[in-house]
Amino acid sequence: MYRDLSERKKKILGAIINAHIQFGEPVGSKYLSQNEDMSCSPATIRNEMAELEALGYLEQPHTSAGRVPSELGYRFYVDSLVERYSMTTKEIEEIDRSLQRKLSEVDQILSEASKLASSFTNYTGIAVKPRLPRTVISRYESIYIDGRSFVLVMLFPDGQAKTKTMHLGFPISRVELSQLTDALNDKMTGITSDRITFTLLSELERAVPSISSIISPVAKAIYETMTDSDGGDVKIDGVDNLLDYPEYSDVSSVRHLLGMFDRKDEILSLISAKDDDKVNVYIGKENSVDIMNNSALVYRTIKRDGNVVGAIGVIGPCRMDYSKVISTIERLASGIDSMLNPKDDDLKGER
């Protein structure tokens, strides 16, 4: 993918990208010779810049002497040159404090992380609940309300809980509700929605004959909850941040990007395909989403007990502060991992 670059070329390329990220303008040899620690003449810098352009790492947007990074240049920078951003103690404490709020569900935690990612980086934050190939329910619980209604609680392997209030046209006792809950836990845990068949419903009706007429509406509620949970979702924060960057000054480009945020399926398809533990960076045309050709996507998946339960990241221009963004996403993801996967020592400390 890459040509071998000399140390001098690497230094010049890194300096150009850092300057372009900061100022958003083409960078020339004069700027580099005056503002960077270069142990070579402006003429040598110009020659190196011309060679970097010929190799595809730089582009010359117009006839001026200035160059801007190409997508290949950004990719080389992210893979080989970017220096780790050192977060301040204040930034780390703010992230940890915000994440340690009493948030009961993964969805809430990811939503908070999206807001933090946006505010810390000044780009658009995203929180993704990926599509799941097949959802199963690990346990059922019930809450008795009165003689004709109760709350069905469905617990998923990733720790999330969904509830459904059931209103009945006939009375049900606490004992009968307990029997129904036991039957659901016996016959409807660990199965996918396509296995909710007539045969299974008949088995449930035989298990609780006194309230067999409730089985059909309960099974329907369970089926709808399972299929809804398969669909995935994307939450977006800080879209207005993009308007601060000249790359999005064109009204049509912003309109297309906002349209993608509304559809969300394209982001879901891109992120749901990944199952690794590293920060992923997609630059320009590396994105399978065509209208993100001028943008970069940086994200990391979140796991609970080894299962992917979401992802957090940011979307911004290719001229992104990758060092700070990658460190911010890593810190946020690490904080969420600690919340969702507490160690034994952490649990002992809470007792």
pLDDT tens digit sequence for 172-229: 999 999 999 999 999 999 888 778 888 888 889 888 898 888 898 898 888 888 876 5
Burial profile 182-221: b = 16 or more Cβ within 10 angstroms, e = fewer: ebbeeebeebebeebeeeebeebbebbeebeebbeebbeb
Domains annotated for the chain, with CATH where assigned, are 7-81 (1.10.10.10), 89-131+231-350 (3.30.450.40), 139-230 (3.30.390)
Bigger pLDDT: 2 vs 15? 15
Residue 65 has pLDDT above 70, yes or no: no
Q: Are strands 307-317 and 124-129 parallel, antiparallel or unpaired?
A: antiparallel
pLDDT reported for residue 158: 73
Write out the H or E segment, with its range, that includes residue 145.
Answer: strand 139-146
For 91-111, how does the pLDDT look when each residue is reduced to its tens digit (9 = 90+)? 887 777 776 664 556 778 888
Better-predicted residue by pLDDT, 269 or 347: 269
| Predicted confidence (pLDDT) at residue 46 exceeds the cutoff of 50 | yes
Distance (Å, whole) CA 203 – CA 15: 70
pLDDT level of residue 294 (50, 70, 90 thresholds): confident
Largest Cα–Cα separation, the chain: 92
Residue at 10: amino acid letter: K
d(CA 69, CA 74): 6
- Report how far residue 133's alpha carbon sits from residue 304's, in angstroms, rounded to the nearest whole number: 17
Instruction: Report residue 351's pLDDT band, with 50, 70 and 90 as the boundaries.
Output: very low
Between the two ends of the chain, the Cα-to-Cα distance in Å is 53
pLDDT greater than 70 at residue 291: no
Q: What is the pTM of this model?
A: 0.67
- pLDDT tens track for 143-177: 999 988 999 999 988 777 889 999 988 889 999 99
